[in-house]
Structure 1
Amino acid sequence: MGQHIRDYTGRSLYRFLNWDIFLAWVPVMLALLLDGVFSFYRQRRISWPLRIVSGVLVVSWLLFYPNSAYLVTDMIHPFVHYKPNGRFVHDLEFWYHLFLFVTAAVVGLGLGTYSLSSLQLLVAERYGAVRSWVFACIVLVLSSIGIYIGRFVRWNSWDVFTDPHKIWSDVVHIVGDPAELHFMLVFSSMMLVISLVGYLVMRGGMFRLQGRSSRW
């Protein structure tokens, strides 16, 4: 996605965006695997190995899900890295930079909508529509906090397994610092609004296209 921008600007500042977009696809791949596992459930008797596999997939999905909407926060980079000459709003290069990250943010919200909607349907099938929406809202709240952690505390999804002591230390620091806690709550609330609105709009459009509105 960023190749044309680099060709135009002669910059290679945004190579990280390829990695961020890849991470945004990981929850989609995990959701597809879960769909396959549950399809297997419907056809055969559930065994404990499959329960373990599905549990690992769900936990992994929860840890990687914030990477999708995380792309929204990448929109800060044009303002951080771009060096304007004069009034930047009249500089075409700046708009190339900005449109790149706006496009990435929309892609991230779309990928997040697809994977969360997929799991919500699985929850609705087993526990009903109301509980599926409770599940979706909880995931969006946790994801918004996860996006704050990824952007400002700089955790990765896999740090839960590779460096749990650091995570515990950072949590204690955040909770014990009123200014940091306030910033986290406000930022996470803004991300929650963006994620929720994006999810409702994109999910509604997706279901209308598929003719599956009745499964909400």
Structure 2
Amino acid sequence: MNSRSGKTYPSMGDRIHSATGFPVLYWLAVIGCSGLSMSLLAARLAATRQVGHLSLVWDLFLAWLPVAPALGIYHLCRRPRINRLLLILLAGVWLLFFPNAPYLITEMIHLSPQYGPSPEILPAWLDKLLPAMAPQSSPEWFDFLLLSSIVVNGLLTAFTAMRLVERSIARRGGRLMSLALAGWIFLLASFGVALGRYARLNSWEVFTQPIETFEKIFQWMQVPRVGVFTLVFGALLAMFYIAAVHGGRREPDPQAGRGFER
């Protein structure tokens, strides 16, 4: 806290913590993890001169998208009066794009030769941006590190977005309701991950191709492996989330008059 003219002002770190729900160090770590993944990817592109895992750039961008509406929901629910229409809009956007975060966990499938990286040569414009060097193959251990970092990014972005929304729900309905809804949302997100991985559906296709998209969703709902994947993957996400976020300490119930923020 800074003091001027006898008045006490919150520091920049306190302001960021209050506005975003997490301390500055947390955001630096999460953003730094994404930066590390992109650095590893750039090194691979420069060494192999192949497209390889270039799609991870887009996938990581999509994984960050649900964090934005989650911050909006968190900020909105801290107000004495809530704009319900705006809240519904933000919640809908968040729920639609949230599966993109845990989807990154499934990128480990690219370690399999069947789903290996593309051997296509880099576009000329991208090749010129990278340091000049003789093309060479990428060792398996390096690809493992790259994809492992992507998995960590998937967990971080998913848990960050979920925690912000869960806090918002807890402020209005209590912790039990927030955890119950979080569990259901993880199941829905897991179904979305399955649709993205197996049916190759994208979140925005709900708007661009609504009829075809809902037809595909209905068809894939009847596929047994999708049901198994949804239940198991959703349960793992929910249990991991509870262990990672709620396993360390007991927090006061926001409905008891105390919030999560400092």
Aligned-partner Cα distance in 2 for 1:20–1:204: 28
**What is the SS of the residue equivalent to 2:202?**
coil
What TM-score does the superposition give when structure 1 sets the normalisation length? 0.81
The percent of aligned pairs where both chains have the same amino acid is: 29
Q: Which residue of 2 aligns with 1:81?
A: 116
Please, which runs of 5 or more residues in structure 1 have no aligned partner? 84-90
Equivalent pair of 1:114/1:203 in contact (CA under 8 Å): no
The answer to whether residue 223 in structure 2 is matched with residue 185 in structure 1 is: no
Q: Which residue of 2 aligns with 1:88?
A: none
Q: How many residues align?
A: 194
RMSD: 2.2
**Cα deviations by residue, 1:122-142 (Å, 9 ceiling, x for unpaired):** 111101111111110010010
Larger strand share, 1 or 2: 2
Aligned-partner Cα distance in 2 for 1:82–1:20: 14
Equivalent pair of 1:110/1:202 in contact (CA under 8 Å): no
Aligned-partner Cα distance in 2 for 1:157–1:76: 21
Aligned-partner Cα distance in 2 for 1:17–1:117: 24
Equivalent pair of 2:69/2:94 in contact (CA under 8 Å): yes
Per the TM alignment, residue 116 of structure 1 is displaced from its structure 2 partner at its CA by 0.5
**Cα deviations by residue, 1:21-66 (Å, 9 ceiling, x for unpaired):** 0111011111112222223x22xx44xxx22111110000001111
Aligned-partner Cα distance in 1 for 2:252–2:158: 19
Q: Which residue of 1 aligns with 2:258?
A: none
User: What amino acid sits opposite 1:214 in the alignment?
Assistant: E
Aligned-partner Cα distance in 1 for 2:75–2:95: 17
User: What amino acid sits opposite 1:69 in the alignment?
Assistant: P
Larger radius of gyration, structure 1 or 2? 2
2:203 is aligned, of 142, 157, 160, to 157
Per the TM alignment, residue 172 of structure 1 is displaced from its structure 2 partner at its CA by 3.5
The answer to whether residue 240 in structure 2 is matched with residue 194 in structure 1 is: no
Q: Which residue of 2 aligns with 1:28?
A: 67
The answer to whether residue 77 in structure 2 is matched with residue 38 in structure 1 is: yes
Aligned-partner Cα distance in 1 for 2:56–2:250: 34
- Once superposed, which parts of structure 1, at least 4 consecutive aligned residues long, lie more than 6 Å away? none
**What is the SS of the residue equivalent to 1:214?**
coil
User: What amino acid sits opposite 1:110 in the alignment?
Assistant: L
Aligned-partner Cα distance in 2 for 1:51–1:10: 50
Q: Which residue of 2 aligns with 1:7?
A: 46
Change (3 A) 1:21 1:62: same
Aligned-partner Cα distance in 1 for 2:244–2:185: 16
What TM-score does the superposition give when structure 2 sets the normalisation length? 0.68
